[in-house]
Amino acid sequence: MAEQAPTTLGGLGEFGAVALFTKGLSAHPGVFLGPGDDAAVLEGAGRLVVSTDTMVEGVHFRRDWSTGLETGRKAVAAAGADVEAMGADPWTLLISLSAPADLPLTWLRFFHQGVLEECERSGFGLVGGDTTRSRDVTVAVTVVGRLDGEPVTRAGARPGDVVALRGRLGWAAAGLAVLARGFRSPRAAVAAQLAPEVPWGAGRQARLAGATAMVDVSDGLLADLGHVARASGVAVDLDAGAFEVAPVLATVAQATGRDPMDFVLTGGEDHALAATFATGAVPEGWTPVGRVQQPGPDGPRVTVDGAVREGGQGHDHFG
Ligand-binding site membership of 161 (annotated): no
Report whether 3 belongs to an annotated binding site.
no
315 is in an annotated binding site: no
Is 38 among the annotated ligand-binding positions?
A: yes
130 is in an annotated binding site: yes
134 is in an annotated binding site: no
Instruction: Consult the annotation and say whether 269 binds a ligand.
Output: yes
- Say whether 298 counts as a known binding-site residue: no
Q: Which of 261, 262, 151, 142 is nearest to 215 (CA)?
A: 151
Does 154 count as an annotated binding residue? Answer: yes
237 is in an annotated binding site: no
60 annotated binding-site participant? yes
DSSP state for residue 150 in the 8-state scheme: -
User: Binding residue per annotation — 251?
Assistant: no
Is residue 237 within 8 Å of 124, Cβ to Cβ?
no
The response to whether 262 counts as a known ligand-binding position is no
Cβ-based neighbour number of residue 235 at 10 Å: 20
Q: What is the CA 204 to chain-centroid distance, rounded? A: 16
Q: Is the peptide bond before 288 cis (omega within 30 degrees of 0)?
A: no
CA dist 235 and 226 (Å) reads 9
> Chain centroid to CA 41: how far?
26
187-194 helix and 171-180 helix, angle to the nearest 10 degrees: 100
Binding residues for substrate: 60, 269
Binding residues: 38, 51-53, 60, 82, 129-130, 154, 216, 218-219, 269
Binding residues for ATP: 129-130, 154, 218
Binding residues for Mg(2+): 38, 51-53, 82, 130, 216, 219
